[in-house]
């Protein structure tokens, strides 16, 4: 089963995905941001293509992202869990994912919500190259413009679950694991 994690930069999706997969065989996560940063470090063709977008806080073009993720989701077994962190970011990415995911339309989209001032404080404490204030404000604006419509997309599809991310890591983690486990049970019973 594939589950997607939605939420503004700084909301803690990456931390939560890593924690959820630690010690759970069959669970894995893919952070498209981390994957791209690794490609940049390696100086691969994809990395060179992606770099200027990342540095500006803009989105890497959809066709590049869709091919990258499609290759990875193709191998996910029905009873395993892949948490996607940072993908989809746009409606075309979400539509393509529904079409290309082996189990059909995505059964679970977890939306991590937190007030804007909490996000900015967390991001400024993180010290990543694309985390200076100007780029950061831009990334939050990109999130509102292109990613927020995904919340409505998955709500219409009946897959959306909202998680209040302005709480302790442990409280959020507990809810995340419960939601994924429940969705996995439903997914396996249905198919």
**Measured distance CA(150)–CA(24) in Å, rounded:** 28
CB of 191 to ligand AMP, least distance (A): 26
Binding site residues, ligand AMP, CB under 6 A = 9, 32-33, 36, 53-54, 57-60, 65, 86-89, 93, 139
- Buried b / exposed e over 30-65, threshold 16 CB at 10 Å, is bbbbebbbebbeeeeebbeebbeebeebebbebeeb
Closest CB to ligand AMP belongs to which residue?
A: 33
Take residue 22 and report the two structure tokens written for it.
């630690």
Which residues does residue 31 pair with via DSSP β-bridges, in sequence order?
A: 85
In the complex with ligand AMP, the residue whose CB is nearer, 66 or 160, is 66
What is the torsional sign of CA 163, 158, 154, 188? Answer: positive
CB of 33 to ligand AMP, least distance (A): 2
- State the virtual CA torsion across 39, 45, 51, 52 in degrees, nearest 10: -170
In the complex with ligand AMP, the residue whose CB is nearer, 65 or 183, is 65
CB of 22 to ligand AMP, least distance (A): 19
In the complex with ligand AMP, the residue whose CB is nearer, 69 or 160, is 69
In the complex with ligand AMP, the residue whose CB is nearer, 152 or 178, is 152
CB of 178 to ligand AMP, least distance (A): 24
């Amino acid at each position: 089963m594939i589950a997607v994690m939605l939420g503004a930069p700084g909301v803690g999706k990456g931390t939560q995905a890593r924690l959820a997969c630690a010690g759970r065989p069959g669970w894995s996560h893919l952070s498209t941001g981390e994957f791209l940063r690794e490609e940049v470090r390696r100086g691969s063709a994809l990395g060179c293509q992606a770099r200027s977008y990342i540095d500006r806080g803009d989105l890497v073009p959809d066709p590049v992202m869709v091919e990258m993720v499609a290759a990875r989701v193709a191998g996910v077994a029905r009873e395993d869990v892949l948490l996607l962190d940072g993908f989809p970011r746009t409606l075309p990415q979400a539509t393509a994912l529904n079409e290309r995911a082996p189990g059909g339309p995505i059964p679970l989209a977890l939306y991590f919500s937190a007030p804007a001032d909490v996000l900015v404080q967390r991001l400024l404490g993180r010290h990543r190259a694309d985390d200076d204030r100007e780029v950061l404000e831009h990334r939050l604006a990109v999130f509102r413009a292109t990613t927020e419509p995904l919340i409505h997309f998955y709500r219409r599809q009946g897959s959306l679950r909202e998680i209040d991310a302005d709480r302790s890591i442990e409280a959020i983690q507990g809810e995340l694991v419960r939601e994924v486990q429940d969705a996995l049970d439903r997914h396996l019973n249905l198919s």
